[in-house]
Amino acid sequence: MDLINLLAGDKSALLTSGFVDDFDYLSLAETGSAGRWNTLDADSGASVAHDADGLDGRVLLTTGATDNNEAYLYSNEVGQFLNGKPMLMVVRLQYAEAATDDANVIFGLVETVGTNTLQDDGDGPPADYDGAVLFKADGDTRWSFETSQGTSQTTTETNKTAGGTSFQTLAIQVDPISASEMLVTPWI
């Protein structure tokens, strides 16, 4: 926040807050309701582990190469869809398929994370949630983008290939237009 401009009467600096986290300090003992990050691993063989040396800011999500296993790293609530509160979320990720197209991968904003936040057998995000996500579902090889308000979803498959040996950067930008409308833009 620019204190000089704030003291001079410029209140626009108050519209900005945020954090950047490279997972350079994270130990999974710090996760949970008191920490910034929570983990969920459902099904046997799934796990969430911090890169042991802490150098590259990486978190390893493992599913045990078993179909429909799940592992999530998610934050405690850091924002909401509100008028006058734009948001930008960015992640750099890489994953490898255990089989040709079986991985389920999701990034973005969802109101609640739990088992089957990304549904089994390629069914995509939940049928009822508020949020905006980029995801790759079992059976697909490209990223899809979805916005959802309750049970009303708009889903678009992109032409961008998901996965592989190279890292990809994904981002979702939310710009409020009014109290009831948002412009949500995906970036890959």
Nearest residue to 177 (alpha-carbon basis) of 85, 88, 93, 98: 85
Q: What is the pLDDT of residues 31-70, one digit of tens each?
A: 544 566 777 777 666 777 666 555 666 777 777 777 777 7
**How do residues 94-120 score in pLDDT, each as one tens digit?**
887 777 787 888 888 888 888 888 888
- The pLDDT of 147-154, averaged and rounded, is 93
Closest CA to 80 of 176, 150, 14, 187: 176
Average pLDDT, the chain: 77
> Highest mean pLDDT range out of 10-14, 25-29, 158-162, 178-182?
158-162
How far is it, in rounded angstroms, from Cα 21 to Cα 121? Answer: 32
Instruction: Let me know: does 145 contact 134? Beta carbons within 8 Å.
Output: yes
The residues, ordered by sequence, that sit 6+ positions from 62 with a Cβ below 8 Å of its Cβ are: 45, 46, 47, 48, 49, 71
Q: Which helix (H) or strand (E) holds 135?
A: strand 131-136
pLDDT attached to residue 144: 95
pTM of the model: 0.80
User: Could you tell me the two tokens for 167?
Assistant: 């890292």
Residue (of 41, 31, 21) closest to 117 by Cα position: 41
Residue 10 pLDDT exceeds 90? no
158 pLDDT above the threshold of 80:
yes
**Is residue 12 very low, low, confident or very high in pLDDT (cuts 50, 70, 90)?**
low
pLDDT at 6 over 50: no
